[in-house]
Structure 1
Amino acid sequence: MPVPTATRKCRTTTCIFWAARTWGVCCPEGGAVPDFVYRILPGRPDFVATITEAERAVMGAHFAYLQDLHAKGCIRFVGRTEAGEYGIIVFSAVDIEAARATAIADPAVAVGVVTAEVHPFRIVDFG
């Protein structure tokens, strides 16, 4: 799968994280990196309405994981649909393999509470 040609300069040079038993780097020493999106899909349509305490704990770990990536400068933005059909995480990674490793390392993905689809992503800036 080709990576997008559009890249951006990193906001930080310290965004190194452990993912899927390999090191992934989203911001190598001041280099430009492409953006990716991973879309998370809950295991059932009524997930938000019927979430269990165990799933709530996993989603708390998921949120902490995203906060950590954000603090390291990897996250561009995150959000979910109002009813919770899916969520998206737009982030930077050096390549598609590192992007996939980032998604796989998400605690909610790792334990199967949600599934993830990873795609190259291009943000359009009208400014």
Structure 2
Amino acid sequence: MSGDKKQFIYVLRLIPALLNDSNWTKREEDIVDRHFSRLQKLLNEGKLILAGKTAGIDEKTFGIVILEADSYEEALELMRIDPAVAEGIMTAELYPYHVALMRR
């Protein structure tokens, strides 16, 4: 992890309507594709530490994004412009975070 950067985690949850597979349309699939592309961009920029989600889709499903950023405000903006959040298919909560151990 780099110098003075701070770490943050945001937890993503699908909106309730999307817990039912039959409610997914091309629009939601396209948003998820843009969400994934955005995460890849953050990884390439050195801002993303890790991202992933729990298996399945039900009321307990969630995803996480762990970032390095200069400030809480920067991390908050990165979360807010995530296409899944900005386009309303996922809710997100941001927390200061600290990676204590990580496999190399």
After TM superposition, the score normalised by the length of structure 2 is 0.85
Q: Secondary structure at the match of 1:79?
A: strand
Q: Per the alignment, in what secondary structure is the counterpart of residue 102 of structure 1?
A: helix
> What is the distance in 1 between the residues matched to 2:65 and 2:46?
13
**Structure-2 separation of matches of 1:115 and 1:126:** 27
One-letter code aligned to 2:85: V
Task: Specify the alignment match of 2:92 in structure 1.
Answer: 116
Partner of 1:65: 38
Question: Structure 2 regions of 5+ residues with no counterpart?
Answer: none
**CA offsets 1:89-110 (integer angstroms, 9 cap, x no match):** 0010111111100000101111
- Matched AA of 1:77: L
Distance change >3 Å, CA 66–CA 46, structure 1 → 2: same
Residue in structure 2 matched with residue 42 of structure 1 by the alignment: 14
Instruction: Give the conservation status (yes or no) of the 8 Å contact 1:48–1:83.
Output: no
- Percentage of pairs with the same residue: 28
Using a 3 Å threshold, how does the CA distance of structure 1 residues 39 and 126 change in structure 2: closer, same or farther? closer
TM-score (norm 1): 0.71
Residue by residue, what CA displacement relative to the aligned partner does 1:61-108 show, whole Å, maximum 9, x if unpaired? 000100100011111011101024110000101111111000001011
Task: Look up the equivalent residue of 2:86 and give its one-letter code.
Answer: A
Structure 1 residue 53: deviation in Å?
1.5
Deviation at 1:46, TM superposition (A): 5.2
Aligned-pair RMSD on alpha carbons? 1.8
How far 1:32 sits from its partner (Å)? 1.9
* SS of corresponding position for 1:82: coil
Higher relative contact order (CA 8 A, sep 6+): 2
Partner of 2:63: 87
